[in-house]
Amino acid sequence: RAKDYHRKEDRIQSMRRKASMRNPDEFYFGMHKTQVQDGVHRKTEAARQELLQDEIGPDAVKIMKHQDLNYVRMQRQRDSKKIEKMKASLHLLGAQNEEEEGTKALSQKKKHTIFVSTKEDAEQFDVAE
């Protein structure tokens, strides 16, 4: 146990000596690709991406980017279909609101013909139901 303690102590002393003898103008090219976050030196995101590309190869990176693009396209298409369904379910309410406000929509109004048996039913008919 004592040997371990003295070994650690010697190591700390040698590190302190090296730090005090260090040239403040010292420069390494690796410094371009690092930054300090919370007191810890870390590689920048660009450097990590570059290492990843070197490890897996440019062909794999192209495939991954293509897959990402396809995923975004699929999500966009899914969302646009969802919007169309919502618009279709609400177009009756939209037509009623346009009549109340007295404004004309940029597109044509959608027409719905509803048949009722009597005039009273026609007057009491609620479009939202």
Residue 75 lies in a domain: yes
What are 34's strand-pairing partners?
A: 43
Average pLDDT over residues 107-128: 76
Residue 6 lies in a domain: no
Question: What is this structure's pTM?
Answer: 0.36
Given a cut of 80, whether residue 108 has pLDDT beyond it is no
Residue 85 lies in a domain: yes
64, two tokens: 């991954």
Given a cut of 70, whether residue 102 has pLDDT beyond it is no
Residue 92 lies in a domain: yes
Report the domain count for the chain: 1
Residue 88 lies in a domain: yes
Number of neighbours of residue 20 by Cβ within 10 angstroms: 7
DSSP state of 107: S
Range of the domain at 82: 58-101
pLDDT the model gives residue 99: 52
Average pLDDT over residues 118-124: 84
Residue 112 lies in a domain: no
Residue bearing the bigger pLDDT, 99 or 58: 58
Rounded Cα gap, residues 7 and 75, in angstroms: 59
